[in-house]
Amino acid sequence: MNYKTPTPIQRKALPLALAGIDLVCMARTGSGKTCAFLLPTIQKLNKHSNSLGVRAIVLSPTRELAVQTFRFAKDIAKFTDLNIINILGGDPIEAQFEALASRPDLIVATPGRLMHHLREITTFKLNHVQMLVFDEADRLFEMGFAEQLNEIVRECPVERQTLLFSATMPKALVQFSRAGLRDPQLIRLDTDSQLSEELRLAFFTVRSNEKMAAFLYLVRKIIPENQITIVFSATRHHSELLHAMLERINVSSTIVYGTMDQDARSQHLKAFRNGSIRYLIVTDLAARGIDVPLLNNVINFHFPPSPKLFIHRCGRAARQGRIGYAFSLVEPEELAFMVDIHTYLGKNLDNC
């Protein structure tokens, strides 16, 4: 799997997780956190059990993240006989009934659909769960899953091990961790104010009526043709406009928006991840749950209004030790936001 050196979150979390200690880990996307909770989980399960049924659960806020975690878990467990399944909202119920009947060892799920099965299938129990993982827990709460999370916790044995990973720690999540975890160890990396050292930042100040020309120049002359890029725009209308402009110059692109049909969304994301489409154009809302580990570039067509949003966008590139680039097109009325970013990051404008 091409692992050579553990990331900071892996170095801190793996020994404690392998020792059976409950953890609250604060680390940003792309820090290697998925490996930090999947390796101890696979190690604890060890081999398939026909008698006990489900012994580990990983809960993800979105379908896309759950699918990626599921695939990663299958890769890690490749040389074991563990039965790992995916339970996602929007997928056919009947196929999930069959998967649950196969006595899975590990379930990677979205909370709503997992809770639905717990309520509907009287024989489906979590009383043998040894490991419970909450991935991107802050987003689980943001998306309204608090009730389902508390119900799932109540269904699991008290003596289980619980791992909670989150980029931020809102008050509701602090209360939840106190109630749902046993004397947890806190691991905190600089989650909100740090970008990867491998991320290169570029800011282009442009007039409003020249922004589209600058964007097309960036696409045609600066970004290599073999790289994939996420473009952030302010609205769906702007996303559609950018998509149309790229199509006119024969550059493959697609858009993802919040109300898009789930099957279409999945198809578009699959084409982007495998490189057959070079540009994915999104708004911040539509980008929730989209995770592309090998992303080369981020373009801020519209500049983000807050430093944390800037870090959330740009932190998608330069992951797993790879060099990445974040290009921002800055209009005159957005200059104040650019100054805020540099102040927040502790950088001088003339150094960027």
Confidence of residue 344 (pLDDT cuts 50, 70, 90): confident
Q: E strands, the chain, where?
A: 23-26, 56-59, 84-87, 106-109, 131-134, 161-166, 185-188, 199-205, 229-232, 253-256, 279-282, 297-300, 324-330
Q: Shortest CA distance to 184 belongs to which of 15, 8, 25, 12? A: 25
Q: What are 185-231's pLDDT values in tens digits?
A: 999 875 555 677 889 999 999 999 999 999 999 999 999 999 999 99
Confidence of residue 1 (pLDDT cuts 50, 70, 90): low
What are the residue ranges of helices labelled H in 55-159? 63-76, 93-101, 111-120, 137-142, 146-155
Long-range contacts made by residues 210-219, C-beta under 8 angstroms, separation at least 24? 211/301, 211/329, 211/331, 212/245, 214/329, 215/242, 215/245, 215/299, 215/301, 215/329, 216/245, 216/249, 218/299, 218/327, 218/329, 219/246, 219/249, 219/251, 219/279
Rounded Cα distance, 317 and 302, in Å: 17
pLDDT of 29 > 70? The answer is no
Are the CB atoms for 45 and 138 separated by under 8 Å?
A: no
Q: What are 123-173's pLDDT values in tens digits?
A: 999 999 999 999 999 889 888 899 999 999 999 999 999 999 987 788 888
Spell out the domains of the chain, with CATH numbers in brackets: 8-188 (3.40.50.300), 199-351 (3.40.50.300)
Hey, how many other C-beta atoms are within 10 angstroms of the C-beta on 31? 25
Rounded Cα distance, 342 and 203, in Å: 11
Rounded Cα distance, 121 and 124, in Å: 5
CB burial readout 229-253, b (16+ within 10 A) else e: bbbbbeebebbebbbeebeeeebeb
Hey, how many other C-beta atoms are within 10 angstroms of the C-beta on 79? 6
pLDDT at 90: 85
pLDDT at 306: 85
pLDDT of 351 > 50? The answer is no
pTM greater than the 0.85 cutoff: no
